[in-house]
Amino acid sequence: MLVEALPWLTRHHGKTVVIKFGGNAMVDEELKAAFAQDVVFLRHAGLKPVVVHGGGPQISAQLERHGLVSEFKAGLRVTTPEAMDVVRMVLAGQVQRELVGLLNAHGPLAVGMTGEDAHTLTATKHLPEIDGERVDIGRVGEISAIDTGALQALLDDGRIPVVSSIARSADDGHVYNVNADTAAAALAAALGAETLMVLTDVEGLYEDWPHSDEVISRLTASELERLLPELASGMVPKMEGCLHAVRNGVTTARVIDGRVQHSILLEIFTDEGIGTMVVPDGHDAHDAHEGKGAQ
Ligand SMILES: Nc1ncnc2c1ncn2[C@@H]1O[C@H](COP(=O)(O)OP(=O)(O)O)[C@@H](O)[C@H]1O
Ligand SMILES: CC(=O)N[C@@H](CCC(=O)OP(=O)(O)O)C(=O)O
């Protein structure tokens, strides 16, 4: 495997990789520790990993403890001002801290931040369209501006940024809850990352979910765009994010199984790859996996 990894080590050297770690893949202690090892491995192999984390299940559990209900519309959490306090506390105070701790068991590498820090993520209130109508779902943000200065400085200093998907508002002084897939994709594009990697709790994008578990191993941006209207809620922000990334300069966007230990290393450093890979139009989707040659 090490010999097989050699061309990939050369190809990815010095490249930025944005990795989204989903809340559902984050419930197992061994998986979390393996995730941290993989990210540190990437860093020592000369890549520049940026971690963007979710925490949906952890937020829901904490809301329940506070006697608050979790409601989702258009795949996004309806976030009252009260719920926003819990979202911020869980993401920035709990999930992010834990990931930073696991990474830093390997050395002084990880620095945690939220999108609020140094104006990294600025948002406006998001009003999703449901059945043709704009719906108010509270403090949910749509990213309107990104400043990558702080992230870039950390990367230049050899650190691993760990980012919580919370944004500041430019106009009303509030903070906003942003879906972590959306935040990861926006950051990947803004950083000019080579790869966006979204870890989740399924093998990849299923062809005909929930009727079959046939994973689509690769597709172009246009092919994905045609599929988007058919996708169900959890996959929507992920695949919209992948599309945004490859349409904005990211070379490949991949959805991989976070339940498989060391899935990041298997995806980056082996010829086969796992999960679903999205490539920009013009790259032959069918060549992209064979030796991932189109990268
Ligand atoms: N076409 C599809 N392929 C795979 N999973 C799908 C698809 N459509 C919907 N899903 C659902 O999306 C879920 C992943 O999204 P989500 O629960 O938001 O995960 P995460 O916490 O990793 O962000 C899967 O567990 C699955 O139930
Ligand atoms: C607006 C919105 O829905 N925000 C998400 C943020 C966390 C997240 O995205 O976590 P996962 O990646 O684990 O799903 C939420 O409140 O659950």
Number of C-alpha atoms within 13 angstroms, CB side, residue 37?
11
Residues lining ligand 1, Cβ inside 6 A: 22-25, 54, 56, 181, 200-202, 205-206, 209, 231-232, 234-235
179 lines ligand 2 (CB under 6 A): yes
Q: For residue 15, what are its two tokens?
A: 């490249």
Q: What is the CATH number of the domain that holds 63?
A: 3.40.1160.10
Residue 66 domain-assigned (yes or no): yes
Residue 226 domain-assigned (yes or no): no
Residue 249 domain-assigned (yes or no): no
- 148 C-alpha to ligand 2 centroid (Å): 22
Residue 39 domain-assigned (yes or no): yes
Domain that holds residue 92: 3-197
Question: pLDDT tens per residue, the chain (295 residues)?
Answer: 778 888 888 889 999 999 999 877 787 899 999 999 999 999 999 999 999 999 999 999 999 999 999 999 988 999 999 999 999 999 999 999 999 999 999 999 999 999 999 999 999 999 999 889 999 999 999 999 999 999 999 999 999 999 999 999 998 999 999 999 999 999 999 999 999 999 999 999 998 888 888 999 999 999 999 999 888 878 999 999 999 999 999 999 999 999 999 999 988 888 777 899 999 998 764 444 444 433 3
Instruction: Please check if 138 is assigned to a binding site.
Output: no
Instruction: Please check if 55 is assigned to a binding site.
Output: yes
Q: How far apart are CA 233 and CA 26, in angstroms?
A: 19
Instruction: Please check if 177 is assigned to a binding site.
Output: yes
Residue closest by Cα to atom 17 of ligand 2: 56
Residue closest by Cα to atom 15 of ligand 2: 56
Residue 246 domain-assigned (yes or no): no
Instruction: Please check if 204 is assigned to a binding site.
Output: no
Counting the structural domains of the chain, the total is 1
ipTM comes to 0.95
Residue 292 domain-assigned (yes or no): no
Residue 287 domain-assigned (yes or no): no
What predicted TM-score, i.e. pTM, was given to this entire model?
0.94
Q: How far apart are CA 73 and CA 83, in angstroms?
A: 15
Residue 133 domain-assigned (yes or no): yes
